[in-house]
Chains A and B, each alone.
Chain A
Amino acid sequence: MSLITLSFTLGFVVIAFFLSMWFKLGLQKDILIAAVRATIQLLIIGYILKVVFHLQDALFSLLLIALMIGVATQNASKRGKWLPHAWIRVLLAITVTEVVTQGLLLGLRVVAPTPQYVIPISGMIVGNAMVASGLLLNRLHSETSSHRQEIITILALGGTSKQAVYDYVKQAVRASMIPTIDNTKTMGLVQLPGMMTGLIIAGADPIQAVRYQILIVFSILASAVITSIVLGFISYPGLFNEFQQFVLSDSPIKK
């Protein structure tokens, strides 16, 4: 696709812009910012990938993955303002997810250890871990703050902090996995996933594209499960202090 052809797609942005203006949605500024950001970010990542693929240097790939994890952590920890050191916990959960999932893929020689495979797949794993982390933190907060009385009752009966929140952590873990599982169920029926779409448009054999997509779907499923469970169980101790007192603040969190 040439740059000229690409520039015609600006038409879509223009349509969105004028529709927003016409219906007084007040989203014009957001649409422009989103379009500019997406373009710049994608162009930059395109050139970076080109360089990294060309260099075939493991160090650059690792740096790039670290950067992805950093951005994902920063983004998902916004949902954890109520939790002390939320970002460290998110960082740990996403890193564990990436290492385990990618480690399995490479270890079982499912994918080749080259940047062309490792980087895009990492992007999907990390991106999905980010979404699952955000959902988990949101849900853990709402579950534990709405069950404050239950939690304190268990503590008062001599239960440990783990016993006091176990059911609510479990609920939060389940809830944060549901979107990924639902998506997996309708995969290929409702939407053709992005990676597959891209491969097919770029001229790959649909059967090959589907095989890669299955790999991605399963990796994403695993990464949602791993992130939710790891983050759930390293987050709940932050709701208690050394004396097993429930310290989640009563007041609404500042956004």
Chain B
Amino acid sequence: MSRDKAPTVKFLNVTKKSPENPQSATILQNISGEVPANHILTVIGPSGSGKSTLLSLCNLLISPDEGEVLIHSKEVREWTVTDLRRRVGLVFQTPTMFPGTVLDNLNLGVKLQGKTLENPEKWIEKVGLPPEILKQSANDLSGGQKQRVALARVLANQPDIWLLDEVTSALDPTAAREVEEWILQLQSKENSTVLWVTHNLDQARRVGHITWLLANGRLVEALPTEEFFENPQEDVTRRFLIGELGGIQA
């Protein structure tokens, strides 16, 4: 498959400070980098290193304190916010279901635009769930099923950039692997650009075209995925890959 090299997501010297404590704590420090169209970027790093924060900057759920985030070459703050958030779909680590059926939940994104979802069966099948599930109460689903519904709900908005925040980490290994396969299939069908945060190094390696390591709010290493795992340049990366930087760094 040919991959267009134009950057779809671009970070330019992005710094994000803690909103509670802007003097002292810096959550992200001077991040620069880009993700070309149709590529999957995997983001790894110790917990608390700023991975989720990085994703939230891409759909303007939070704003950078310094620097710029460009989506399709346009700064996020210049977009119409609701348009931006539909084109840049974010799937959270823990899925939030609203009272009502699975169908209600699947419909949510398009309903916010005053439309109804055509062919909901198609969307629920895309994430490997049977259409019968649409009538069930969303809160009765298992964790894995909820995560798939949350994914389908975002996909139904037809975003061309997907932000995935540890979307398989709450699932058992089999379910995780299944959801992962589904995402990969969909991604290659729809040619979307993906920023995929994961704490599973094997997954980061399997699914990524490019991989970034965040540590302590800094972008430590950014390389094509193969090279990242075979031949990392930084000492910090090597230590992270052998499990020496498990927790939050001092």
Interface residues of A (CB under 8 A from B): 149-150, 152-160, 163, 243-245, 249-251
- Identify A243's interface contact among B77, B108, B153, CB under 8 A: B77
CB closest residue in chain A, given B154 = A157
- Report the minimal beta-carbon distance from A20 to chain B, rounded to whole angstroms: 42
Give the distance to chain B from A251, nearest Cβ to Cβ, in Å.
6
| B108 with A154: CB separation less than 8 A | yes
Q: How far is the CA of A12 from the CA of B83 in the complex (A)?
A: 66
B201 CB within 8 Å of chain A: no
CB distance from A117 to the nearest CB of B (A): 47
Contacts of B83 in A (CB 8 A): 158
Q: How far is the CB of A114 from chain B (nearest CB, A)?
A: 51
Roughly how many angstroms separate A20 CA and B112 CA in the complex, as a whole number? Answer: 57
Report yes or no: A150 in contact with B98, Cβ–Cβ below 8 A: yes
Q: Closest Cβ of chain A: how far from B87's Cβ, in Å?
A: 9
Contact residues of B between 84 and 129, Cβ < 8 Å to A: 85-86, 89-90, 92, 94, 96, 98, 108-109, 112-113
Residues of A contacting B153 with CB < 8 Å? 157
State A250–B42 Cα separation when bound (angstroms).
29
Once A163-B112, A245-B62, A251-B20 are accepted as A-B contacts, the answer to whether A155 and B85 lie under 8 Å apart by CB is yes
| Complex interface: chain A residues within 8 A of B108 (CB) | 154, 157
For chain B, residues 1 to 27, give those with C-beta under 8 angstroms from any C-beta of chain A.
20
Decide: A159 and B112 in contact? CB cutoff 8 A.
yes
Given A150-B96, A150-B98, A245-B60, answer yes or no on A158-B77 (Cβ-Cβ < 8 Å): no
What CA separation (Å) do A157 and B107 show in the bound complex?
Answer: 11
Q: A154-B108, A154-B112, A245-B61 are in contact. Are A160 and B82 (CB under 8 A)?
A: yes
> Cα distance A178–B108 when bound, in Å?
30
Cβ contact within 8 Å between B112 and A158: yes
What's the least CB distance linking B79 to chain A, in Å? 9
Q: Is the CB of B81 within 8 A of A243?
A: yes
B38 at the interface (CB under 8 A from A): no
30 example contacts (A-B, Cβ-Cβ < 8 A) are as follows A149-B92, A150-B98, A152-B61, A153-B92, A153-B96, A154-B112, A155-B61, A155-B85, A156-B61, A156-B89, A156-B90, A156-B92, A157-B86, A157-B112, A157-B154, A158-B82, A158-B85, A158-B109, A158-B157, A159-B82, A163-B112, A243-B77, A243-B81, A244-B82, A245-B60, A245-B61, A245-B62, A245-B63, A249-B20, A250-B20
Q: Nearest-CB distance from B243 to chain A (Å)?
A: 31
Closest to B63 in A: A243
B55-69 CB contact bits vs A (8 Å, 1 = yes)? Answer: 000011111000000
Closest Cβ of chain A to B236, distance in Å, is 30
| A159–B84 CA distance with the chains assembled, in angstroms | 11
Q: Report B180 CB to chain A, min CB distance, Å.
A: 21
List B contacts of A156 (CB < 8 A). 59, 61, 85, 89-90, 92
Cα A76 to Cα B187 with chains together (Å): 53
Assembled-state Cα–Cα distance A150/B108 (Å): 12
Nearest CB to that of B60 among chain A residues?
A243
Q: What range describes how many residues of B lie at the interface? A: 20 to 34
CB distance from A159 to the nearest CB of B (A): 4
Could you tell me which B residues sit within 8 Å of A by CB distance? 20, 59-63, 77, 81-83, 85-86, 89-90, 92, 94, 96, 98, 108-109, 112-113, 153-154, 157
CA distance A145 to B233 in the complex (A): 44
In the complex formed, the residue of B with least CB distance to A151 is B96
Task: Please name all residues of chain B whose beta carbon is closer than 8 Å to the beta carbon of A251 when the two chains form the complex.
Answer: 20
Asked if A244 and B81 sit within 8 Å, CB to CB, the answer is: yes
**Chain B residues with CB under 8 A of A153:** 92, 96
Give bound CA distance, A152 to B77, whole Å.
18
Apart from A149-B94, A149-B96, A157-B86, list 14 A-B contacts with CB within 8 A: A150-B96, A154-B108, A154-B112, A156-B59, A156-B61, A156-B92, A157-B153, A158-B109, A158-B157, A163-B112, A243-B60, A243-B81, A245-B60, A245-B61
Nearest B-chain residue to A163, judged by Cβ? B112
The 9 closest A-B pairs by CB, nearest first: A158-B86, A159-B112, A158-B85, A157-B109, A153-B96, A149-B96, A156-B90, A158-B82, A244-B81
Q: Are A157 and B157 in contact, with the CB atoms below 8 A?
A: yes
Q: Please name all residues of chain B whose beta carbon is closer than 8 Å to the beta carbon of A152 when the two chains form the complex.
A: 61, 92
Tell me the complex Cα distance, A184–B59, Å.
48
Count chain A CB atoms within 10 A of each CB in B109, B112, B154 and give the residue with the most. B112
